[in-house]
Amino acid sequence: MILSSCHNTKTFAKSCCELHLGISYSDIRMFPLLSEMAGAFVAVFFLAMFYEGLKIARECLLRKSQVSIRYNSMPVPGPNGTILMETHKTVGQQMLSFPHLLQTVLHIIQVVVSYFLMLIFMTYNGYLCIAVAAGAGTGYFLFSWKKAVVVDITEHCH
């Protein structure tokens, strides 16, 4: 029998691999070629850049789509029993609108790309980890200058 001969020899793994999977160890390369690794590096680098650009693009689209602004005033107790009127700016968006649908689709794409980048990083391949970090840094550098910076003067935790 073939299985008994597999158990009696040192080539058990090789013979059974050929028997069950139809491949031999000579078909498997353990290390990728330099050109394949360089191509993977470039692809992951641009994927990370795309992810950073997508984040900023979503923020810009959200700001442009928020057109219905309402001001709500509400009474707040002040010093010495006085009542002050505090005004809050409320930005609204309809759930069944094209901008919200576009934001939803872009969010799904952003989540999928972020999970791909996480899985690539978790291969612990040093070159691919560097490609993720370098691409994210380059993407942030190229796209984040368009990002609006909002400073909240009531925030005291800085």
How is the chain split into domains, by residue range? Answer: 1-30, 32-146
Q: Is residue 153 within 8 Å of residue 65, measured between CB atoms?
A: no
Burial 100-122 (b: 16+ CB within 10 A, else e): eeebeebeeebeebeeebeebbe
- Cα dihedral 89, 65, 137, 50 in deg (nearest 10): 160
* Whole-prediction pTM: 0.61
Nearest-5° Cα angle at 142, 141 to 147: 80
Q: What is the pLDDT of residues 8-65, one digit of tens each?
A: 544 554 554 454 555 555 556 666 788 899 999 999 999 999 999 999 999 888 877 7
Residue 156, token pair as written in the block: 């005291």
Phi and psi at 90, nearest 5°, equal: -115, 125
